[in-house]
Amino acid sequence: MTADAIIQSLASGLLMGLLYGLIAVGLALIFGLMDVVNFAHGEFLMIAMYATFFLFVFFAIDPLLSAPLVAAALFVFGAVVYLLIVRFAVRAKANAGMVQIFSTFGLAIVMRGLTQYFFTPDYRSVTHSWLGGKTVSVAGIFLPVPQLVGALVAIAAFGGLYLFINRTDFGRALEATREDAGAVALVGIDKNKVFALGWGLGAALVGLAGAIMAIFFYIYPDVGASFALIAYVTVALGGFGSVFGAFAGGIIVGLVEATTAMLLPPSLKAVGIYAVYLLVVFVRPRGLFGSM
Amino acid sequence: MNITRRNVLLGATAAAALGSVAARAQTSEVVIGVIYPFSGASAQMGVDAQKSFETALDIINKNHDFDLPLAKGEGLPGLGGAKIRLVFADHQADPQKGRAETERLITQEKVCAVIGTYQSAVAVTVSQICERYQVPFISADNSSPSLHKRGLKFYFRAAPHDEMFSAAMFNFFDAMKKKGTKIDTLSLFHEDTIFGTDSANTQLKLASERGYKVISDIKYRSNSPSLSAEVQQLKTANADVLMPSSYTTDGILLVKTMAELGYKPNAIVAQNAGFSEKALYDAVGDKLEGVISRGSFSLDLAAKRPMVGKINAMFKEKSGKDFNDLTSRQFMGLLVMADAINRAKSTDGEKIREALVATDIPGEQTIMPWKRVKFDELGQNNDADPVLLQYIGGKFVTIFPPQAAIAEAVWPMK
């Protein structure tokens, strides 16, 4: 194997990893905020991809332009999901954990089923976009433009989220609610409003990822499944409840995947991810950057 | 009266006996189970398959003037004009669900025959259940060679399997080499279930027998989120021919990733599956000018056999698509099964099996480029000649074997 091939693999892994990170950040945000795992996270990604696809087909809006629209729509969707479903699920007196799991898991299945019913199981694809199919070549290393832009969007989104959490009142309320949901009620912060905002933000982030991914990935009702699994591992690897950890975890997962594929047969590339994950869990059960 | 298990069993046996007497007296309906993925990643295959089976059903149950088995007249004359009813079951591409659904079709829906399954991995369990209940199974579109080599008595396949397909590919390479084309090295790229694995094993064997060098053999995980590492390896190897065995999703991602990483092979010769799907060409067709895929169907045949075009039009009205390699084989699967049931004059599994063993349908009475439909002792039709098709100007043209070809192969692909 040549040095070029190794650098190429690592570069591809890094670009993919930043995207994994962007997908996982929303999941980590919601989990950190209220200890709820959103099992419909992959389906959020899937409807974002469909939304991008339909905006492209019917209104000829390029995915790059529709990304903010899709993120905004997903923000509303996430908040509504919280207000209509999750709010009641977390209130359950008996078996609260189970109720919470099955409510979002059920939501995932319903979303998948409805998508298949209305949009058919056919594979869709954004055929020609501004970025699609373009590649820049730097010193013999090929960097696909969609993934490159995706990586930049991921970095920008993460930076924005970081500033939002640390610099705004709402961000501070988010952080305070995360620390102690009971105490914030005493100072007059509406817990439900904060949680709804958290769900909205989490969904908007994965919406952004979905819009970018629609440029270079195929779209069908089950597309969320393979990415959601990686997102769960990423969150656990990076550290439960840590938004920064999820982002770093994504990058690690991307690089480990690329490295494993170089060393082992590619059908085993997921093995590397889980091996690293196991190692981290052994040494540091709360994950690399976890605080719990 | 106390209801004991024995009484219930006796009652059930009596009812079953009465039922079968009644059934023999007047069978107005023959029920066949059709098992496909109708949800999950391959659901579109099931949806298309359903349209194909409904087209075949139309031909059998209604009166048509085609030179096909059972086209003329309504229903099955051997069973007093009984109509066929299809029961569709969803195996979700999961062998265990396939097992359970087949059992349900046989015991609850009382089907007398089963047809399936798209994924070869599912065909393995479905055919085992059929064998246990002695219900004939037609593997309409599964291409794994290992399927018919298990000594099952109720397993039948009218279509070619991957050894036949792969042999056609290597015959084609040999022919091209004779004309002076440089074909020495091959890259295999295959998914990790039975379809991809069997296909690659066959191709490895044929390559070594005929003196081709396989310089990279990449087994990848199906439905992977990214294939860039895999494509990177293919690019480094840069063989004369890339030979993928992939389903649709992976096929789309493969082609997109190849373009992104600047990998353009001289030729792609694909083991069908995803590479015969409209969805793949809708998504990345612009990057696939000149790709070669194997098939057992070609619309070119309509020039020689006009009914092929007419039946394709019937299918297109239902599905919005032309027949492809999969849907055409599914169509033939039901016709072959219905023909056997008609000759068996019975819905009894063993009698239908005997009729299938005696099947001999000349190629002209099919919509395929096959010599005929006749099963060997393993239930495989060895006269189902495959063809190679090349994607030129937005459609497939037959380029091999010479007797079926209507155009010369374009090599390198562009």
The pLDDT assigned to B23 comes to 46
Q: What is the pLDDT of residues B73-109, one digit of tens each?
A: 999 999 999 999 999 999 999 999 999 999 999 999 9
Q: Can you tell me the distance from the alpha carbon of A160 to that of A149, in angstroms, rounded to the nearest whole number? A: 16
pLDDT of residue B96: 95
Q: How far apart are alpha carbons B246 and B188 in whole angstroms?
A: 11
**How near does any CA of chain B get to the CA of A68, in Å?**
23
The per-residue pLDDT for B4 is: 55
CA–CA gap between residue B138 and residue B239 (Å, rounded) = 37
Q: Are B294 and B387 in contact (CB under 8 A)?
A: yes
The size of chain A, in residues, is 292
CB contact under 8 A, B230 and A266: yes
Q: How far is CA B389 from CA A95, B271, B399, in A?
A: 58, 11, 6
Residue type, B414: K
Q: Which residues of B touch A5 (CB under 8 A)?
A: 232-233, 236
pLDDT, residue A120, reads 83
Point out the residue among B220, B249, B260 whose CB comes nearest to the CB of A144.
Answer: B260
∠ CA B61-B62-B63, nearest 5°, is 130
Amino acid A90: pLDDT: 87
Q: Any CB–CB contact under 8 A between B378 and chain A?
A: no
**pLDDT tens digits for A115-150?**
988 998 888 888 888 887 788 888 888 898 989 999
For A127, which residue in chain B has the nearest alpha carbon? B283
- What integer best gives the mean pLDDT of chain B? 90
Q: What whole-number distance in Å separates Cα of residue B95 and Cα of residue B101?
A: 10
Ramachandran angles phi, psi of B69, nearest 5°: -55, 130
Secondary structure element (H or E) that encloses residue B49, with its range: helix B43-61
- Decide if B229 and A147 are in contact by the 8 Å CB cutoff: no
Q: What is the mean pLDDT of each run of 10 residues along chain A (292 residues)?
A: 83 93 93 89 97 95 94 97 92 85 94 91 85 83 90 94 88 85 83 92 96 92 90 89 89 93 86 90 84 60
Full 3-state SS string of chain A = CCHHHHHHHHHHHHHHHHHHHHHHHHHHHHHHHHCCCCCCHHHHHHHHHHHHHHHHHHHCCCHHHHHHHHHHHHHHHHHHHHHHHHHHHCCCCCCHHHHHHHHHHHHHHHHHHHHHHHHCCCCECCCCCCCCCCEEEECCEEEEHHHHHHHHHHHHHHHHHHHHHHHCHHHHHHHHHHHCHHHHHHCCCCHHHHHHHHHHHHHHHHHHHHHHHHHHCCECCCHHHHHHHHHHHHHHHHCCCCHHHHHHHHHHHHHHHHHHHHHCCHHHHHHHHHHHHHHHHHHCCCCCCCCC
Chain B residues 192-211 within an 8 A CB cutoff of chain A: 192
With an 8 Å Cβ cutoff, is B238 touching chain A? no
User: Given this model, what pLDDT does residue A35 score?
Assistant: 86
Amino acid B367: pLDDT: 94
- The SS3 of residue B233 is helix
Which pLDDT does position B19 carry in this prediction?
47
Q: How confident is the model at residue B7 (pLDDT cuts 50, 70, 90)?
A: low
Locate A173 and state its tokens.
């309320």
User: CATH topology for A3-283?
Assistant: ABC transporter involved in vitamin B12 uptake, BtuC (1.10.3470)
Task: Read off the tokens for A128.
Answer: 């020609």
B404: phi then psi, degrees, rounded to nearest 5: -105, -15
- Distance between CA atoms of B97 and B356, rounded to whole angstroms? 27
State phi, psi for B89 to the nearest 5 degrees.
-130, 150
| Rg of chain A (C-alpha set) | 19
Tokens of A153: 């969007």
**A213 CB-near residues (< 8 Å, 6+ apart):** A19, A45, A49, A150
* B390 closest CA partner among B366, B372, B369, B408: B408
CB contact under 8 A, A5 and B236: yes
Q: How far is B240 from chain A (nearest CA, A)?
A: 19
Distance, C-alpha A161 to centroid of its chain = 13
Nearest Cα of chain B lies from the Cα of A226 at a distance, in angstroms, of: 7
* Residues B28-53, mean pLDDT to the nearest whole number: 92
pLDDT at B24: 46
Reading the block at residue B387, the tokens are 């063809």
Predicted pLDDT at B116: 94
pTM (2 decimals)? 0.79
* pLDDT tens profile B269-307: 999 888 888 889 988 888 999 999 988 888 888 888 899
pLDDT at B177: 93
Task: Please check the confidence at residue B22 and state whether its pLDDT lies above 50.
Answer: no
The pLDDT, as a whole number, for residue A292 is 53
User: Tens of pLDDT along A17-30?
Assistant: 999 999 999 999 99
Bridge partners, B380 (sequence order): B157
Q: Which of B228, B233, B236, B257 to mutate to test the interface with A (most CBs of A within 10 A)?
A: B228
Question: In this predicted structure, what is the pLDDT of residue A291?
Answer: 66
CB contact under 8 A, B47 and A120: yes
Higher pLDDT, B5 or B409: B409
Q: Name the residue ranges covered by the structural domains of chain A.
A: 3-283
**Minimal CA–CA distance to B371: which of B296, B314, B273?**
B296
CA atoms of B124 and B128, how far apart (whole Å):
6
The pLDDT of residue A20: 94
Q: Give B388's Cβ-side CA count (13 Å radius).
A: 27
Any A CB within 8 A of B280 CB: yes
Share of chain B above pLDDT 90, in %: 71
Indicate if the pLDDT at residue B25 is higher than 90.
Answer: no
Kindly report, residue by residue over B349-368, the tens digit of the pLDDT: 999 999 999 999 999 999 99
Confirm if A207 and A70 have CB atoms less than 8 A apart.
yes
pLDDT at A221: 92
Has residue B263 got a pLDDT over 70? yes
Q: Which of B329, B296, B267 lies closest to B115 in space, CA to CA?
A: B329
Distance CA B232, CA B235 (A): 5
At B313, the amino acid letter reads: A
Q: B49 contacts in A (CB within 8 Å)? A: none
Output the CA angle B42-B47-B52, nearest 5 degrees: 125
Q: Do B221 and A270 touch (CB under 8 A)?
A: yes
Buried b (16+ CB within 10 A) or exposed e, A104-131: beebbeebbeebbeeeebbbbbbeebeb
Nearest by Cα to B302 from B281, B323, B330: B323
Query: Is the predicted pLDDT of residue B414 greater than 80, yes or no?
Result: no
pLDDT at residue B27 in the model: 62
The answer to whether the Cβ–Cβ distance between B221 and A133 falls below 8 Å is no
**Which residues on chain B are in Cβ contact (under 8 Å) with A135?**
259-262
* Burial class of A138 by CB neighbour count within 10 A (0 to 12, 13 to 18, 19+): exposed
